Amino acid sequence: MAEPTPTARTLQDAALWIEALLRQFPELLTELAPGRPSPGTAPERRRDPSPETARRVREERRDALLVEQRHGLTAPGYSAAPLRLHVSDAVRDITDGVVELDEAVHDKLGLGRPRHARVPQRLVRIAGLLDRVAGHPALAAHVRDECRRMARRCARVLGDSESIVRVRGRCPWCDSVSLRAFPARRAVLCVNPACRCEAAECDCRTDPAYRHVWHEGEWEGLARTAGTDRAEIDASMDETADARTGPRAG
């Protein structure tokens, strides 16, 4: 089996980050406003807000209106529970990022301005164009980097930690015992930040955040060169198996 090109690897990563965003973004929207008081809770007598509170209320209501317009949601302001502004900031950042990415992909591919759509629909649309993005390595890297950035911000706001499972054997490139399985991505990564390969086009030479990735079609070859078993790699992808939480990579 031929080795995938650097651009093909980049697009595989991009597809995984898009999948992560599709899972995470709806959860982010549900976190936008905290729960309302239970029906049995007696309402407190409200006092007139201070000037500072009144200013904050106006900002919350403006953000709530923006969220409602973009996502069809109603985010409560001073009249109910306060809007979670850090979540609102993340929603706005990711929404803007997805819109800009969708437009950039369409523009580069000569497809004109994309139709208006919500974030999940735009992400699905971008994923459907990845085969055509393959002819544009710089665009492929941009799609991967932006989707990775947005997925990580989603995860930080949601408080998620990615499961990581140690894989026996040594990295074929750096000879370090640094191979880890990431079940959510269905991928094995070398987490050694100093690891460098011999491929001139590999991103490890230019991107400090990049980590070598072996996708499912490459696990057989990895098992041979790393001194591990393919069955062990397959087992490590079971998210119900014992796993430890560690820093994100890739």
| pLDDT tens digits along 131-153 | 999 999 999 999 999 998 998 88
Total count of domains within the chain: 2
Q: How does 25-36 read in b/e, with b if 16+ C-beta sit within 10 Å? A: beebbebbbeee
Place of tokens 């750096």: 174
Both 232 and 153 in one domain: the answer is: no
Both 134 and 170 in one domain: the answer is: no
Residues 227, 219: Cα–Cα separation, whole Å? 12
Residue 235 lies in a domain: yes
Q: How confident is residue 57, by pLDDT bands cut at 50, 70 and 90?
A: low
Residue 45 lies in a domain: no
Both 13 and 128 in one domain: the answer is: yes
Residue 129 lies in a domain: yes
184 CB-near residues (< 8 Å, 6+ apart): 20, 162, 163, 239
Residue 209 lies in a domain: yes
Residue 14 lies in a domain: yes
Both 153 and 188 in one domain: the answer is: no
Both 136 and 237 in one domain: the answer is: no
* pLDDT at res. 131: 95
Residues 158-180, mean pLDDT to the nearest whole number:
84
Of 31 and 132, the one with more pLDDT: 132
**Three-class secondary structure of residue 213 per DSSP:** strand
Shortest CA distance to 69 belongs to which of 33, 26, 118? 118
Both 30 and 101 in one domain: the answer is: yes
* pLDDT at res. 96: 93
C-alpha distance from residue 101 to each of 28, 30, 108, 115 (Å): 19, 24, 11, 13
Both 87 and 188 in one domain: the answer is: no
Residue 48 lies in a domain: no
Picking from 138, 158, 178, the residue at the C-terminal end of a domain is: 158
Residue 39 lies in a domain: no
Full-model pTM: 0.56
Crossing angle between the packed helical segments 51-71 and 85-108, to the nearest 10 degrees? 40
Q: Phi-psi region for residue 171, left (φ > 0), alpha (ψ -120 to 50) or beta?
A: beta
Residues 197, 242: Cα–Cα separation, whole Å? 30
Both 232 and 131 in one domain: the answer is: no
Of 203 and 51, the one with more pLDDT: 203
Per the structure block, which two tokens stand in for 156? 């930080």
Range of the structural domain that residue 97 is part of = 6-34+54-158
Picking from 126, 158, 190, the residue at the C-terminal end of a domain is: 158
pLDDT digits (tens, 9 = 90+) for 174-191: 999 999 888 877 888 888
Both 29 and 87 in one domain: the answer is: yes
pLDDT at 223 over 50: yes
Picking from 104, 124, 158, the residue at the C-terminal end of a domain is: 158
Both 104 and 151 in one domain: the answer is: yes
Least confident span in 45-59, 115-129, 139-153, 176-190: 45-59
Both 24 and 58 in one domain: the answer is: yes
pLDDT at 207 over 60: yes
Both 110 and 27 in one domain: the answer is: yes
